[in-house]
Structure 1
Amino acid sequence: MNGFQKLFSICLLLTGILIPSPVCANPANRQAFVRYFGEYLPANLNSCSVCHVGAHAEGAESLEDFPHNPFGNQLRLEADKLLKAERDPEIDLRLKLLSEADADNDGFSNLQEILFGTAPGDKTKFPDAKAAEKLKRLTADFTEYKSRYAWKPFKPVNRPEVPLIKDADWARNPIDQFIAAGHEQEGLQRAKEASPEILLRRVYLDLIGLNPTPAEIQDFLKEQKTNPQAYEDVVTRLLNHPAYGERWGRHWMDVWRYSDWAGYKQALRESQRHIWHWRDWIIESLNADKGYDQMLVEMLAADELKPDDWDTLRATGYLARNYHSKRDQWMDDVVKHTSQAFLGITVGCAKCHDHMYDEIEQREYYEMRAIFETYHVRTDRVEGVLDTAKNGIPRAYDKSLTAKTWLFEKGDERRPVKEEAIPPGVPTFLGGEFKVSPVSLPMVASQPARRETVKRDLLSHARKMMEQAKAKEQRVAAESELAVLEAQFAIEEMVAKGDKKSDTWKEAALNLVKLQRQSALENARWNLISATQEQQAAQQALENAEAKKKKSVITKAKLRLKKAEQQHKTAETALKKAETDSKAKLTTKYTPRKQPVYPRSSSGRRLAFARWLTDGKNPLTARVAMNHIWLRHFGQPIVPTVNEFGGNGRGPTHPALLDWLAAELVKQDWSMKEMHRLIVTSSTYRMAGTGSEENHKIDPDNKYYWKKSAMRMEGEIVRDNLIYIPGRLDPQLGGPDIDNTQAQDSVRKSIYLRHAHEKLVEFVQIFDGPSVTECYMRDMSVQPHQALAMANSRLTFQATEALTQKLLKQTSGKLDDFIQQAFLSILSRHPDVAEQKMCREFLTHASESSDIKPSTDQFQQLVTVLFNHNDFVTIR
C-alpha cells in the first residue's frame, strides 16, 4: 500500500464510513460541520483532526485507532443526550449547544478557537494574547452570519416570514421583499423597470417562446397608457396560449431526459418507439395546468393510479424512456435520474458504498431500486392502428411481482449478496411515510386487446379484408373469418361476466367451434389452390429457364419449384386435417382469440413512492421544482447545483425565498401557472438589465438580482422564431417526431423534431442544445460557429426572404415604415434615431438620390443584418 492509499484509507476511517451510528463521525456530519461554519471555517480546520486523534495512523482499521479528542467526545456525548431526549442529534444543533463550552480547558470557547483557526480539542493550541480584538470581530460577524435564514434542505419546508423592507412601495409581491432585503443587506441600488418593449418581448419569449408581433407590441404600448393592469392581462393571455405548454414542456423535457427512440435498424437500445406520446402528454398537462405533484404521480405510476385511462398512461413514457437494453443499466438510470430530477439528491452515488456526503446508506440505494425492480415496458395499441410498429403508447407496467433486488457487493453486478432480498424503501433521513399496497388492475389493463376501441378496429380491419377479398374470389373464406371474430368477442363478454358453463355459453362455444372449423376448412382449400397455382408457375419458370440454358437462372428456378412443392404438400396435409376436423363431433373446446395477457395486479411500489414524493411534507420535491422554474425565468438558479441539494452541492443564494416559493407552490395546489404569474409580475422580474458600476463592484455576478440578467435564447427558440416571425410557422400541436434531418425545411416547432443519440438537430445543438443523457441545466456559451450558423443557415435565408416580401407588401416599400416594421418584427422594439438613420443610409447608399427605391436585395440584406443582431438571440 503506497502513501496515498494509506492516507485515503485513513480518511475513510476518519469520516466514519464503517460506523453507521448517527452519534459517530460520518461523511454527512463532516459536510454538515463545513456547512455550519461556511466561509468562517479556516482551511486548516477542514480536517478530520478537529474531532479525532490518530494513535496508529499507519494501520488504522477502526475508530479505536482514531479516537475522539475532547471536542469530538463532547459532540458525541451531546448526541447521546439529544437521542435520549428524542431529539434529532444534527450537527448544527450540537455545535450551537457547545459553542460556549471549552472542550480542552484552555480558556477559550470552542467557537472562539474554531473561528481563530486553533484546534478546540487540543489544549496546546489556542489563540495568542493579541487575539482578543480579532476574536471579538470574528464572533460578531459569525453571529450575524448565523442569524440569517438557516438553509435546511432535508427538513420539511416551513413557510418563512416575509421580510420587512425600507422601500415597501417597490414590492409588488413577497418575492420582491425577499430580493429587496438582499439589496439592503449588500448595499445595492436596484435597476429601474425595463422599458415596455423590452419587458413585453421578455415575457413573450419566457412564457411561449415566440416574439410578440408588431401589432401586439403597438396594442400593448397603447393599452398600458390607460390600463394599469395591461401587463398582467398579457401574462394571463400568454399563460393560456397553447405555445405555453410547448415552451415549458421543453424545459421539463430537459430535466426528465426526454429522448426519442435510439437504435440501429430494428434494434432497441434506449428509450422506446413512439415516445412522443409522452411529450404530447407533457405539453397537454402543462396547458391544462395540471399540478406538478399530479404530473409526477402519473409519470411514475399512472398504470397503478388510472390503469384504464390511456390518455393518462402516456405519462409513464417517463419510465419507458429510461429503458435500456441492459437491465442493470436501466435500473441504475431510473434510480439515479429520478432522485436527481425530483429530489435533487444523488442516490446513485450510494450504489457501491454509503454516500460520501449525505445520510444515504448503500442499502438504501437498493431499496430505491427495489421500487422499480418489478416494472417493465410494453406498447399498447392506439385507436385506429393495429400495428404497434406504426404507432402505439409506450407505457410502464409491473411485469413480475416476485422480482427480487439484491445488494451488489461494492456495486458489482457480478457479486450479488443473496442472503437477503432487499425490500422497497426510500432514504430514511428524508422522513415521510412510504407504505406499499398492491393494486388490482381491471381486465382492460391486463388484456388491452379486450378494449372496445381495439375490438372495433379488429372488426373494421376484418371487414376491409373481406371487401378486398371479393375481387379475388375469396369472399366465402373472408366472411367466415369475420364471423369467427364476432363469435369470439361474444363469448369473451360472456366469460367476463362470469358465464362459463350455462346452456347459453355452451351453445355459443359450440357455434364458435363450428365457425372456426368452417373457416379453417375454407382457408385450407384456398391455400391449396394458391399452392397449386404457385407450383404450376414454378414448373413453367423452370421449363423456360432450361430452354434458355442459363445455369444461374435454372438453379434459381429449381429452388423456387422445390419450395412450391413443399408448400403444396403442406397445404394438402392441412386440408386433410381441416376436412377431418369438420366432420368430427362438435365440442366446446374453442380456440381463444390470440392476444397479449399481462398480470392482473401491480405491486403498488411506484404509487407509494410517488405519493411519498409529492406529500407536502417531503422536504425536497417542491424546493427542487421551484429552483428549476426560477432558473428558467432568471437564467440562474437559487441553488446553483440544481440536481444536487446535498452535501456535495452548493448552498442557495436566497434560502428563505426558495423555501417561501416551495411553500407557495404547495399552497397553490402545485399550480405552475400560478407560480409563473407570481414571478413574472414581480418587480424583480420587471427590472431593466443595466445598473450602476458600484453594483458591479459589489456583486459582479448579480447573485442578488439587482438587475435582470440577459439570457441567450435556446437553440429551439432561435429556430422557431426564424420560422415564426415571417409567418411560416405551422402551429399544429403534437404528433409523431419529425426526422431531425428535416430541421432546415420543416415549419413545425423544434420540440417536435427528433431528439436522440446520433439523431440531433445540428442548428439547435450549436446554440447549446440539450444533452440526451442528462440536461438538468443547460450550458450557455458564446462560440464563433453560432454567428456562422445564423449568417449561413438555410433557415435564415428562408426567414429573410419571406419576411422581406411580407414587409414590402405591408409598407409598400416606404423606407422608414419598412425599417420600423423590421425592427418591431425581429427585435420587438422601435429603432432609435441613430439606428433609423443608419438603416436609411444602408438602404440608399448605392444611389445618389434618396428618391430612388432600393432593390429587394437591399431590403433583404437589412433584414439579414437584424436577424444576425445580438438582440435577436438575446432575452433582455
Structure 2
Amino acid sequence: MNFIFSKSLRPPFPCVIAVGVIIVFSVSQQSAVADEAADFFEQRIRPLLIEKCIECHGPTKQENEIRFDRRADVLEGKAGEVPLINLATPDESRMLKVLHYTDGDTQMPPSGKLDDEHVAYVREWITHGAVWPESADLEGEAKRRAERWREHWAFIPPVMPDLSAVPENENPIDHFVKVRLAAKNLTLSPPASPKVLVRRLSYALLGLPPELSDIAAADAANANGTLATWKTEFIDRLLTSPHFGERWGRYWLDISRYADTKGYLFQEDREYPDAWRFREWVIKALNDDMPYDEFLKRQLSADRMPGSDDPAQLAAMGYLTLGRRFLNNPHDIIDDRIDVVTRGMLGLTATCARCHDHKFDPIPT
C-alpha cells in the first residue's frame, strides 16, 4: 500500500515553531515580572518593614499577636480578626487603613504616620500580589545572621601558628612557603644575587632605583661574608628615608580616593582646596611609624581625640571629607563615606546593603 502525502497533510512545523516561540517569550516575560516584583519588595517594602515594624512585630516580640517577618502571618493577621492584606480588593486591606490612620482602633506606626510615598509603595506591593521572595523570610534571621558573622573569615580572630618546627636561622614566612611548595612538589628559587636583592629592596620600599654605591657595597659585603648584616642595615636605612612614606602612602591614598582635582568641570573650581594636607599627613604618619590603630582612629575621629586643636592632626579626617560631592546630594555623600570606611578599613563592600541585604557577606539593609 502506498501512502501519498499532500501538502495539506504535512506536519505544520512553522506553526509548532511559532507556538514554541510564544511559550518561551511568555515564560521569559513572566520571569521578568517576577524578578521585578521581588526587586520591588527588596528595595521598597523590606527596608520599611525592618525599620518600622519588625522591632515590635518580629521573631522576638509580637505585639497584639501580629508578625511582619513571615508572609503567611502578614496575609493572615491575628487569629479571629480581619486579615492584614486583602489581595482581592487591595484598598480594603486593614494594613493600608492602619497606615492611612483611618482604622478606628489602630494607627501604625505609633511614632508617626508614614509619608504618602511609603504608603503608596505598600499599596502597589499589595496590588501586585504582595510578592515576598522566599529568601526574605525574617524568622530566625537574627540567629542565622549571627552565625554567618561568626563564620565570616574577616571576623575570625587570627591565631598565632605553631613555630616550634621552624629552625632558628630560618624566617617563619619562608618555612610556610616551603611547606606549600612541597605540597606541590616545588622548590624555592635560588637566592637572589646582591645586585638583584638591592634592586628589589629599593623599588619595594622607596619606589626608586638603587644607588650604584649601594650595589657596590652589597657586592663587597657578599665577598667578605657580611651580606646578612649589611642587608639589615640597608633595610633600616631605606625605612628611615622620607621616600618610604611617599611610596607606601600612595597605596593608602588610592584607598581613600585621594585627588587634588575634581576631574572635568567647567563651571566650578576644579581644585580640592587643602587636599594636599591629608596627603602630607599620611606620608608623615608612615614615616613616623604611627601605630596602625591610631592611624585609623585619627582618620575617623581626629576631632574627638587628644590633640584635636592641632590643625596638622585634623588633616587626618580628609579620609572622610575627600571624595565626590554628588551635586551636593547628602544621601550619596554619606553612602560614599560609608563605602570608603567599610572597604578601606574592613575589607567589606557594604554599599550593596544600601538597597538590599548583601548577596554574599552577612550585611543587612
Q: TM-score, normalised by structure 2?
A: 0.58
Alignment check: 8 A CA contact 1:162 1:178 kept: no
Kindly indicate whether the alpha-carbon contact (under 8 Å) linking 2:262 and 2:324 is maintained by their aligned counterparts in 1: no
CA-CA distance at 1:22 after TM superposition: 9.6
Using the alignment, how far apart are the partners of 2:146 and 2:291 within structure 1? 36
Distance of 1:200 and 1:67 partners within structure 2: 57
1:347 pairs with 343, 346, 350, which one? 350
Root mean square deviation, CA, Å: 4.0
Aligned counterpart, 1:320: 321
Q: Is 1:338 paired with 2:357?
A: no
Return the letter of the residue paired with 2:262. Answer: A
Q: What are the equivalent positions in structure 2 for 1:213-362 lying under 5 Å apart? A: 213-224=211-222, 225-227=224-226, 228-262=228-262, 264=265, 267-268=268-269, 272-305=272-305, 306-322=307-323, 324=325, 325-326=327-328, 327-362=330-365
Instruction: Pick closer, same or farther for the CA change 1:164–1:274 going to 2, 3 Å.
Output: same
Matched residue type, 2:147: E
Q: Structure 1 residues 349, 183: closer, same or farther in 2, change over 3 A?
A: same
Q: Which stretches in structure 2 are left out of the alignment for 5+ residues?
A: 1-27, 51-57, 61-68, 71-128
In the other structure, the counterpart of 1:629 is none
Give the deviation of 1:286 after TM superposition: 0.8
Cα distance change of structure 1 residues 62 and 164 upon mapping to structure 2, 3 Å threshold? farther
Provide the C-alpha distance between the structure 2 equivalents of 1:357 and 1:279, rounded to a whole number of angstroms: 34
1:22–1:226 distance in 2 versus 1, CA, 3 Å: farther
**What is the CA-CA distance between 1:303 and the residue it aligns to?**
1.8
Q: Aligned-pair distance for 1:292?
A: 1.9
Partner of 2:202: 204
- Superposed CA deviations along residues 700-731 of structure 1, whole A, max 9, x for unmatched, are xxxxxxxxxxxxxxxxxxxxxxxxxxxxxxxx
Post-superposition offset of 1:281: 1.1
- 92 and 246 in structure 1: CA distance in 2 versus 1, 3 angstrom threshold: closer
Counterpart CA distance in 1 for 2:266 and 2:136 is 61
- Mapping of residues 643-682 of structure 1, within 5 Å: none
SS in 1 for 2:314: helix
The alpha carbon displacement at 1:203 in A equals 0.6
Tell whether the 8 Å contact from 1:278 to 1:318 is kept in structure 2 after alignment: yes
1:136 is matched with: none
Matched AA of 2:290: K
Deviations 1:52-71 (A, max 9, x none): xxxxxxx79347x8999xxx
How many Å separate the matches in 1 of 2:299 and 2:153? Answer: 24
* 1:272/1:320 contact within 8 Å kept: no
Of 61, 78, 97, which aligns to 2:131?
A: 61
Cα distance, 1:298–1:214 mapped onto 2, change above 3 Å: same
Q: Give the 3 Å change call, closer, same or farther, for CA 213–174 of structure 1 in structure 2.
A: same
TM-score for the superposition, normalised by structure 1: 0.26
> Equivalent of 1:2, from 25, 29, 44?
29
Structure 1 residue 226, shift from structure 2 partner: 3.1
CA distance in structure 2 between the partners assigned to 1:353 and 1:265 by the alignment: 36
Q: Distance in 1 between matches of 2:286 and 2:135?
A: 55
1:183 is aligned, of 181, 191, 195, to 181
- After the TM superposition, which residues 584-595 of structure 1 pair with which residues of structure 2 at under 5 Å, given as runs? none
Deviations 1:829-865 (A, max 9, x none): xxxxxxxxxxxxxxxxxxxxxxxxxxxxxxxxxxxxx
**Aligned sequence identity (%):** 29
Please say if residues 339 and 351 of structure 2, whose CA atoms lie closer than 8 Å, have aligned partners that are also in contact: yes
Shift of 1:309: 1.0
2:31 maps to a residue whose letter is: F
Give how far 1:206 is off: 0.5
Contact 1:207–1:247 (8 Å) recurs in 2: yes
| One-letter amino acid of the structure 2 residue matched with residue 90 of structure 1 | E
Verify the 8 A CA contact 1:171 1:177 in the aligned structure 2: no
Q: Given residue 207 of structure 2, which amino acid in structure 1 is its aligned partner?
A: G
Q: Distance in 2 between matches of 1:173 and 1:354?
A: 43
Distance 1:189 1:161, change over 3 A: same
Contact 1:299 1:318 in 2 (8 A): yes
Offset, 1:356: 2.4
Length, aligned pairs only: 253
Greater relative contact order (Cα < 8 A, sep 6+): 1
- Output the CA distance in 2 between the equivalents of 1:7 and 1:267: 45
* 1:90 and 2:160 matched: no
Q: Report SS of the residue matched to 1:212.
A: coil
- Closer, same or farther in 2 for the Cα pair 1:336/1:12, shift >3 Å? same
Equivalent residues of 1:300, 1:316 under 8 A apart: yes
Per-residue CA distance 1:497-517 (angstroms, 9 max, x = gap): xxxxxxxxxxxxxxxxxxxxx
Question: Are the structure 2 counterparts of residues 67 and 333 from structure 1 closer, same or farther at C-alpha, using a change threshold of 3 Å?
Answer: closer
1:339 Cα deviation after fit? 1.3
Paired residue type of 1:335: I
Alpha-carbon spacing, 1:356–1:88, altered in 2? closer, same or farther (3 Å): closer
Q: C-alpha offsets along residues 459-512 of structure 1, whole Å, 9 cap, x if unaligned?
A: xxxxxxxxxxxxxxxxxxxxxxxxxxxxxxxxxxxxxxxxxxxxxxxxxxxxxx
Alpha-carbon offset, residue 92 of structure 1: 11
Q: How does 1:539-550 map to 2 (within 5 A)?
A: none
Distance apart, 1:340 and its partner CA: 0.9
Verify the 8 A CA contact 1:336 1:348 in the aligned structure 2.
Answer: yes
Bigger Cα Rg: 1
Tell me the CA shift for residue 312 of structure 1.
Answer: 0.9
> Counterpart of 2:350 in structure 1: which amino acid?
V
CA distance in 1, matches of 2:242, 2:158: 35
Which of 170, 173, 180 matches 1:172? 170
- Encode CA deviations 1:369-398: one digit per residue, 9 max, x unaligned: xxxxxxxxxxxxxxxxxxxxxxxxxxxxxx
Contact 1:261 1:274 in 2 (8 A): no
SS in 2 for 1:245: helix
Q: 2:155 aligns to what SS in structure 1?
A: coil
Superposition deviation, residue 323 in structure 1: 5.3
Cα distance, 1:296–1:5 mapped onto 2, change above 3 Å: same
For 1:454-469, what aligned pairs fall within 5 Å after superposition?
A: none
- Structure 1: 5+ residue stretches without partners: 26-58, 69-75, 94-150, 363-876
